[in-house]
Amino acid sequence: MKQRSRNRLRRPALVAALATLVAAPFALGQTSTEEGIAKYREALQGGNPAELWEARGEDLWKAPAGPSKVSLEKCDLGLGPGVVKGAYAHLPRYFADADRVMDLESRLVWCRVKLQGMSEADAKKNPFGNGSEHKSDLEALVAYVTSESRGVKMNVPLSHPKEREMYAVGEKMFYYRGGTHDFACATCHGEDGKRIRLQDLPNLTTIEGAQKAYTTWPAYRVSQGEVRTFQWRLNDCFRQQRFPELVYGSDASIALTMYLARNANGAPYDGPAIKR
């Protein structure tokens, strides 16, 4: 490998000059697009429609629901029953009552089943909303809970053996190549400066990349007019990789979340954010 790259360096200067010619306008275009998106984000600061989801989620959290007619206010998100403040910064984590590592979404489903008496199917129903006729209660709940961790430093534990196991599985999945396109997460997210069309992709193998990406999900997606959760993000990445559908709240989805969340440790959580 080393020999080959040295040979490349000895190629005639003309090739290098041509490359610069091609690269220059491309680089210019990229910066102005980035600037444009940055300006757009700035204009929308303080006006993030995710707040509408946060408000609805808070109402849902406090309203009695399900066959048991109780609210989720006794739901233990890891910091004790009913503690929402800062809880998301410590997730996913191991829960002794369920004997399982859970992310926020799977924990919310668990609470809806155990506290509110819903069936598993009802508790998981409509995880990704579509317009005002098909609003997702889960997306709203997630928006509310995550907003209560804004500014809190990510601190995902790896103390329980099951947490370490989840992390290891997540790491393996991240680099696992498969599907019709022989893709891994790392194919797009393992190098700096990669893009899909005009969207810059974070390099999730670096601490900064993982921190910046993980702490800004969930997010209001302007192009969809919906708040999207981390489960949605992974689900759609799997679709783009032409992988089998990632089951909502499955161990596989939690393992990947665990891997990325843990890598984001130390950065202040900054969601729900706003994305294109």
Partner 1 sequence: MADPMKIRANLVGDSTEVKVLMAHEMETGQRKDAQGKTIPAWHITNVTATHNGKTVLSAQWGPAVAKNPFLSFKFKGGAKGEKVQVSWIDNRGDKRTDEATIA
Among all residues, which ones are annotated catalytic?
237
Question: Is residue 273 at the binding interface for partner 1, with CB under 8 A as the rule?
Answer: no
Q: Which is nearer to partner 1, 56 or 124 (CB)?
A: 56
Among residues 180, 179, 158, the alpha carbon closest in space to that of 169 is found at: 158
Contact positions with partner 1 (CB under 8 A) in 104-143: 131-132
Question: Is residue 228 at the binding interface for partner 1, with CB under 8 A as the rule?
Answer: no
Q: Which of 18, 52, 207, 247 binds partner 1 (CB under 8 A)?
A: 52
Site string for partner 1, 19-48 (x = CB under 8 A): -------------------------x-xxx
Size of the site for partner 1 (CB under 8 A): 13
Question: Is residue 221 at the binding interface for partner 1, with CB under 8 A as the rule?
Answer: no
Among residues 189, 169, 155, 177, the alpha carbon closest in space to that of 256 is found at: 169
Question: Is residue 56 at the binding interface for partner 1, with CB under 8 A as the rule?
Answer: yes
Q: Which is nearer to partner 1, 187 or 224 (CB)?
A: 224
Question: Is residue 268 at the binding interface for partner 1, with CB under 8 A as the rule?
Answer: no
Q: How far is the CB of 70 from partner 1 (least distance, A)?
A: 23
Q: How far is the CB of 195 from partner 1 (least distance, A)?
A: 25
Q: Which is nearer to partner 1, 48 or 211 (CB)?
A: 48
Q: How far is the CB of 168 from partner 1 (least distance, A)?
A: 40
- Binding interface with partner 1 (CB under 8 A): 44, 46-49, 51-52, 55-56, 131-132, 222, 225
